[in-house]
């Protein structure tokens, strides 16, 4: 089988309808029916909508969304359904499985926000990942984010898959922080995988998108039908940006992961000499046995640092030249975020860092000078 980069560039060649090297952007929302009347069949006689490979109305599907789904399915080993955002993908997951109980750990605050909507409207019961799983029954969901936002720490997928399956529940894994080639949650028992494609798959901080990935064609078809009704298919223009983005996914992510790990290594080895630095969180610093199996090609390009005070965290981003102070992650440009600005539960001294594709020596040097400059400024505030 072809490798990741080959598949991300050529994985949809067979469905591109023209000879253009770059698939055209299809902005049409609607498509002409067959001009041969003898081929027209009433939808009532068909037994359902044919959503894929049957362009009709772009809320069902359109050429660019299918090209993405085809290419990404080849590097993730499952059927891919694309959505307008990572959160609309999670909403679709919850709508499809409709659990009575959701076991959910730490992680992206918006995912928790959706779980809270289900609790508000339908009485969904939420428990933590370390609570008693005997509260879960057949068809319930265990939702694991790994590596977890914002720290970039890796959790043991197999452990939670086994615990979920013992109860007849499903394991969903949000693997946004470790896209291919970094992790393959299916290998460790995940039933469904979620990605915010806004992050690494897009890779250029210029589009919103999400994926659900399933091994079951039946679930894929059900998700497509729900997506048609929820109106959450990825948009046409965003799809074409994403087609461009995924072509370099493997190159970008390997470099970003390598640079992040080198920077984390330097910071952790020199922690006591770096002014203001208290703690660094990243999968590369974990020693658990499962880490090597689960992250064979490197760790997440995202890590977090804790600094000595709220003011230190607030001022440090302003001292950096090569890191934009912004939320989000996964793009070619490095970002840092004083996490308390966007995450109500974040520790006030926590900064999340997403390493881009710049030269890591420049990034490291920039970070080191920023720690020193921040120390001077914060001292002068007191
Ligand atoms: C960003 C993010 C999401 C939400 O994705 P959107 O595309 O912003 O809707 C979900 N999970 C994780 C881990 C994320 O980082």
How much is the pLDDT for 344?
Answer: 85
CB half-sphere exposure, 341, CA atoms < 13 A: 15
Q: Is 85 in the pocket of ligand 1 (CB under 6 A)?
A: yes
89: Cβ below 6 Å to ligand 1? Answer: no
Domain total for the chain? 2
Sign for the pseudo-dihedral over CA of 343, 345, 349, 353 = negative
**Do 223 and 253 fall within a single domain?**
no
Give the pLDDT score at 52: 92
Ligand 1: nearest atom to the Cα of 145 = 13
Would you state the pLDDT for residue 1? 82
Parts of the chain with a pLDDT under 50: none
57, 26 in Cβ contact below 8 A?
no
336: CB partners within 8 A, 6+ apart: 316, 317, 320, 323, 324, 325, 351, 352, 353, 354
Residues 259 and 319 in one domain: yes
Residue 73: partners with Cβ closer than 8 Å, 6 or more residues away: 11, 79, 80, 213
Q: Whose CA is nearest to atom 8 of ligand 1?
A: 86
* Cα distance between residue 206 and residue 64, in whole Å: 16
User: Is 204 found in the same domain as 279?
Assistant: no
The candidate with the shortest Cα–Cα distance to 246, out of 31, 80, 51, is: 80
CATH of the domain at 154: 3.40.640.10
Q: Show which of 202, 222, 246 is a domain's final residue.
A: 246
Q: Give the residue, out of 84, 86, 195, 241, with the most ligand 1 atoms within 8 A of its beta carbon, to mutate for a pocket test.
A: 86
* CA within 13 Å, CB half, 373: 14
Q: Are residues 188 and 256 in the same domain?
A: no
Same domain, 29 and 175: yes
192 lines ligand 1 (CB under 6 A): no
Regarding whether 242 and 159 lie in a shared domain, the answer is: yes
Please count the other Cβ atoms lying within 10 Å of the Cβ belonging to residue 130.
8
Q: Which single residue is written with the structure tokens 């660094």?
A: 280
User: Cα(198) to centroid of ligand 1, in Å?
Assistant: 7
Are 194 and 262 members of one domain?
Answer: no
Sign of CA dihedral 266, 271, 277, 279: positive
d(CA 347, CA 359): 29
Describe the strand order of the beta sheet including 170-174 as a list of residue ranges: 79-83, 210-214, 192-196, 170-174, 141-145, 101-104, 125-127
Listed residue (356, 352, 351) closest to 333, CA to CA:
356
Together in a domain, 272 and 229: no
Cβ of 84 below 6 Å from ligand 1: no
Residue 304: give the domain boundaries: 249-381
Q: For ligand 1, say whether the CB of 145 is within 6 Å of any of its atoms.
A: yes
Please state the atom number of ligand 1 nearest to the C-alpha of residue 198. Answer: 7
**What pTM was estimated for this model as a whole?**
0.97
Asked if residue 262 and residue 138 are part of one domain, the reply reads no
List, for residues 264-309, the tens digit of each pLDDT value: 999 999 999 999 999 999 999 999 999 999 999 999 999 999 999 9
pLDDT of residue 345: 85
Residue 230 Cα to ligand 1 middle (Å): 19
Of the candidates 195, 191, 145, 157, the residue with the CA atom closest to the CA atom of residue 171: 191
**Do 264 and 116 sit in the same domain of this protein?**
no
Q: How close is the Cα of 145 to the center of ligand 1, in Å?
A: 11
Q: 21 CA distance to ligand 1 centroid (A)?
A: 31
Among 246, 267, 290, the domain-final residue is 246
Q: What is the CATH number of the domain that holds 368?
A: 3.90.1150.10
Q: Are residues 224 and 275 in the same domain?
A: no
- Best probe residue, ligand 1, of 145, 182, 196 (max atoms within 8 Å of C-beta): 196
300 lines ligand 1 (CB under 6 A): no
Whether residue 247 contacts residue 235, with contact meaning beta carbons closer than 8 Å, is answered with: no
Domain finish residue from 195, 228, 246: 246
- Does 277 lie in the same domain as 180? no
Give the CB-side neighbour count of residue 206, counting CA atoms within 13 A.
14
In whole angstroms, how far apart are CA 175 and each of 7, 185, 265? 20, 8, 23
Distance 195 CA to ligand 1 centre (A): 7
The answer to whether the CB of 108 is under 6 A from ligand 1 is: yes
Give the Cα separation of 211 and 192 in Å (integer): 10
Q: Choose one of 198, 206, 304, 339 to mutate for the ligand 1 pocket test, by most ligand atoms within 8 angstroms of C-beta.
A: 198
The first and second tokens of residue 194, run together, are: 């979620």
d(C-alpha 371, C-alpha 349), whole Å: 13
């Amino acid at each position: 089988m072809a490798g990741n980069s080959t598949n991300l560039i050529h994985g949809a060649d067979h469905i591109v309808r023209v000879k253009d090297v770059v698939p055209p952007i299809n902005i049409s929302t609607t498509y002409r029916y067959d001009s041969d009347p003898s081929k027209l069949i009433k939808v009532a006689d068909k037994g359902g909508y044919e959503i894929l490979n049957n362009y009709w109305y772009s809320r069902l599907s359109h050429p660019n969304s299918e090209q993405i789904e085809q290419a990404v399915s080849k590097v993730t080993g499952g059927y891919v359904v694309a959505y307008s955002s990572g959160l609309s993908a999670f909403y679709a997951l919850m709508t499809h499985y409709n659990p009575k109980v959701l076991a959910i750990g730490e992680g992206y605050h918006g995912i928790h926000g959706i779980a809270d909507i289900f609790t508000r409207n339908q009485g969904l019961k939420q428990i933590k990942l370390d609570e008693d799983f005997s509260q879960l029954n057949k068809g319930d969901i265990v939702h694991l984010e790994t590596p977890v936002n914002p720290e970039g720490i890796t959790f043991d997928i197999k452990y939670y898959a086994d615990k979920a399956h013992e109860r007849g529940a499903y394991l969903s894994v949000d693997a946004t922080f470790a896209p291919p080639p970094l992790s393959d949650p299916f290998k460790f028992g995940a039933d469904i995988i979620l990605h915010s494609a806004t992050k690494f798959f897009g890779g250029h901080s210029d589009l919103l998108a999400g994926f659900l990935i399933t091994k079951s064609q039946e679930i894929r078809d059900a998700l497509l039908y729900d997506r048609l009704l929820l109106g959450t298919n990825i948009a046409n223009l965003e799809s074409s940006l994403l087609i461009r983005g995924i072509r370099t996914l493997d190159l970008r992510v390997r470099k970003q992961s390598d640079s992040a790990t080198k920077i984390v290594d330097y910071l952790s080895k020199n922690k006591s000499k770096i002014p203001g630095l208290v703690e660094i969180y990243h999968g590369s610093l974990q020693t658990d046995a499962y880490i090597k199996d689960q992250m064979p090609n490197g760790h997440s390009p995202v890590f977090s640092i804790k600094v000595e005070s709220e003011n230190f965290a607030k001022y440090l981003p302003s001292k950096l030249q090569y890191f934009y102070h912004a939320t989000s992650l996964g793009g070619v440009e490095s970002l840092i975020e004083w996490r308390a600005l966007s995450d109500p539960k974040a520790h006030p001294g926590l900064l999340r860092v997403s390493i881009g594709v710049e030269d890591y020596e420049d990034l490291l040097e920039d970070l080191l000078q920023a720690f020193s400059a921040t120390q001077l400024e914060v001292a002068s505030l007191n």
